[in-house]
Amino acid sequence: MRKFFGTDGIRGLTNQVPMTAEVAMRVGMAAGAHFLRGTHKHRVVIGKDTRLSGYMLENALVAGFTSVGMDVVQVGPMPTPAIAMLTRSMRADLGVMLSASHNPYHDNGIKLFGPDGYKLSDEDEAQIEHLLAQEPKLAEPSHIGRAKRIDDARGRYIHAVKQSLPESVRLDGLRIVLDCANGAAYNSAPTVFWELGADVVAIGVEPNGTNINDKCGSTAPALLQETVVASGADIGIALDGDADRLIVVDEKGRIVDGDQIMGLIGASWARQGRLKGGGVVATVMSNLGLERFLEGEGLRLERTKVGDRHVLERMREGGFNVGGEQSGHMILSDHATTGDGTLAALQVLAELIASGKPASELLHQFDPMPQLLKNVRFAGGKPLEDKQVIAAIAEGEATLNGRGRLVIRPSGTEPLIRVMAEGDDAGQVEQVVDMICDAVRAATA
């Protein structure tokens, strides 16, 4: 059983295990020792989002890595995909991103990337877990690592993202409202769109250490919706705290989720002959409407467990180049090794310009089936093994009777049971979800 690593690195409440300075230093020692391979001078790139705790955890990681003989390059607040890109381009042995993504500021996390820019395999994480329990082997005094900050990392990332579009594509004439969630992309994303010619109205670009994801960003798009309509913008773009997610708002203020974005990019790339794998990879949470839409385009939808790492694994196995999650993780593997909200937004904007249509007409590719997701918090135990919960799930499946889907799973980052159902009948879907949620609550009371 894992003690530290979850579905996306290590995550938790700051100053409680595992998000303490002591554990962060031990992670630096363990991960550093694991990637000390060969005789070359070893290097790790460390980035972070704008959380107050980032200062503390970054310094602890630096101490850990340098103590085992690894040099550290610190790049400051940067999007998660930027760290993946910089790890590869700087020939580093390891990349680290300090972020809890869309969580509130009081949480933080440690995401690790290998030298290829991809998130670590289960095997690598297991080895690091093992080393965390061992006494670290510290470097000789003459081999202790050095730490260095570089100032041009943001420019390198901005250039790389812009390179994902042909030079002929410009955003002149587009008015974009951009919500950076007071997070990691607060500086880079507005620059990307401005340099490509857009008229940018930026919100969520004044981080203070505690306002990341606070009533802004991809998980709270109400402010973006209001601003798009009030400013007469053509489109709104919302990133999350570490900028690996994207949610779009059309000019009428309506939300466009990750399923619609995957449908748009997948179908368009297929028509251009750019799509690989014959379809798109998404998770079990993606709407059945997306699956039916892609089938109508002669494409297939491959489903995985929840989590962008599972999506990416299937993409690599099957040779796909478009994948993502309904929540907004967009992985375009021709251009990046992990989800990148800014990069995906550029693909959406390129489609908008090429079509000449308003966002409200272009971006809603299909009518989603009625889908309902509810979360039930629990204090402990294994509610999904309770007999009454098992019986309620079976009853729900019988009620849907093959005309919908039921997905029940524990969250990988919080003590929650997530209950999702979808089908042709919205009332029936709600009835099934409520019945199962009631059973879970009774089991945990």
Whose tokens are 């009030």? That residue is 230
CATH tag, 5-151? 3.40.120.10
* Annotated catalytic residue 101: yes
Burial class of 193 by CB neighbour count within 10 A (0 to 12, 13 to 18, 19+): buried
**pLDDT > 70 fraction of the chain, expressed in percent and rounded:** 100
Angle at CA 296, nearest 5°, toward 290 and 299? Answer: 75
CATH tag, 258-343+350-362? 3.40.120.10
When mean pLDDT is compared across 1-10, 38-47, 387-396, the lowest value belongs to 1-10
Whose tokens are 């773009």? That residue is 237
Asked if 144 and 67 touch (Cβ cutoff 8 Å), the reply is yes
**In this predicted structure, what is the pLDDT of residue 445?**
78
Q: Summarize pLDDT for 273-329 with one digit per residue, the tens.
A: 999 999 999 999 999 999 999 999 999 999 999 889 899 999 999 999 999 999 999
**In this predicted structure, what is the pLDDT of residue 381?**
84
Where exactly does CATH 3.30.310.50 map onto the chain? 371-444
**C-alpha to C-alpha distance for 167 and 39, rounded to whole angstroms:** 41
- Helix (H) or strand (E) holding 183, with range, is none
Q: Summarize pLDDT for 60-109 with one digit per residue, the tens.
A: 999 999 999 999 999 999 999 999 999 999 999 999 999 999 999 999 99
Model confidence, pTM:
0.91
Largest CA distance in the chain: 69
Instruction: For 42, list phi and psi in degrees, rounded to 5.
Output: -90, 150
| Residue 66 Rama label (left phi>0; alpha psi -120 to 50; beta) | alpha
Mean pLDDT of the chain: 95
**C-alpha to C-alpha distance for 341 and 243, rounded to whole angstroms:** 5
Residue among 101, 188, 286, 333 flagged as catalytic: 101
Across residues 374-392, what is the average pLDDT? 92
When mean pLDDT is compared across 153-157, 355-359, 397-401, the lowest value belongs to 397-401
Nearest CA to 245 out of 107, 95, 81 is that of 81
Check whether 412 has a pLDDT greater than 80.
no
Asked if 200 and 176 touch (Cβ cutoff 8 Å), the reply is yes
Q: Summarize pLDDT for 325-349 with one digit per residue, the tens.
A: 999 999 999 999 999 999 999 999 9
CATH superfamily, domain 172-255, is Alpha-D-Glucose-1,6-Bisphosphate, subunit A, domain 3 (3.40.120.10)
Check whether 251 has a pLDDT greater than 70.
yes
Instruction: For 90, list phi and psi in degrees, rounded to 5.
Output: -90, 5
**In this predicted structure, what is the pLDDT of residue 1?**
61
Q: Is the peptide bond before 136 cis (omega within 30 degrees of 0)?
A: no
Where exactly does CATH 3.40.120.10 map onto the chain? 5-151, 172-255, 258-343+350-362
Nearest CA to 127 out of 41, 2, 314 is that of 2
Instruction: Determine the residue type at 2.
Output: R
Q: Summarize pLDDT for 33-71 with one digit per residue, the tens.
A: 999 988 899 999 999 999 999 999 999 999 999 999 999
**In this predicted structure, what is the pLDDT of residue 73?**
98
CATH tag, 371-444? 3.30.310.50
List the beta strands (DSSP E) in 121-258: 147-149, 175-179, 199-203, 235-239, 246-250, 255-256
**C-alpha to C-alpha distance for 15 and 210, rounded to whole angstroms:** 15
